Amino acid sequence: QVQLVVESGGGLVQPGGSLRLSCAASGRLIRSYHVAWIRQAPGKEREFVSAIRWSDDNTYYSDSVKGRFTISRDNVKNTVYLQMNSLKPEDTAVYYCGLRSATLALQLGVLDFSAWGQGTQVTVSS
């Protein structure tokens, strides 16, 4: 199966630290999509984290990350980023990015996006 996106940038960080995740699109122009980040912690359901709308780059966040995470897009690099600051142990999860066609209205459900990559592990621990 051809992956349309590749996530990277995860790692081990102490509480209060920062990481920047990258979502690089392959063979597609990422500016033609709404892009979302979701995460899944062990034993838990997938959880919406953040999204960016294709047309005006409006951004959306879950309450649990609002004020700490920032999603952004670099169309030249065909990449979407998730800057994560003030990380907490409860942010530990595998983070995935997904795409939703710009021909569709932006929805913020996990199931509203597809083309997920393999994910990148984020571990917040002292």
- What is the signed CA dihedral for 23, 29, 31, 36, rounded to 10 degrees? -40
Sign of CA dihedral 57, 74, 89, 17: negative
In a 10 Å sphere around its CB, with 0-12 CB exposed, 13-18 middle and 19+ buried, how is residue 53 labelled?
middle
Q: Tell which residue, 11, 23, 31, 34, has the closest CA to residue 93.
A: 11
* pLDDT tens digits, 87-114: 999 999 999 999 999 999 998 988 999 8
Contacts of 2 (CB under 8 A, 6+ apart): 26, 27
Name the one residue in this structure whose structure tokens are 């979502």. Answer: 23
pLDDT in tens, 38-83: 999 999 999 999 999 988 889 999 999 999 999 999 999 999 999 9
The answer to whether 9 touches 120, Cβ cutoff 8 Å, is yes
Place 2 in a pLDDT band, splitting at 50, 70 and 90: low
Amino acid letter, 46: R
Give me the mean pLDDT over the 4-17 stretch.
96
Report pLDDT for 50: 97
- Relative to beta strand 69-74, strand 11-13 is unpaired
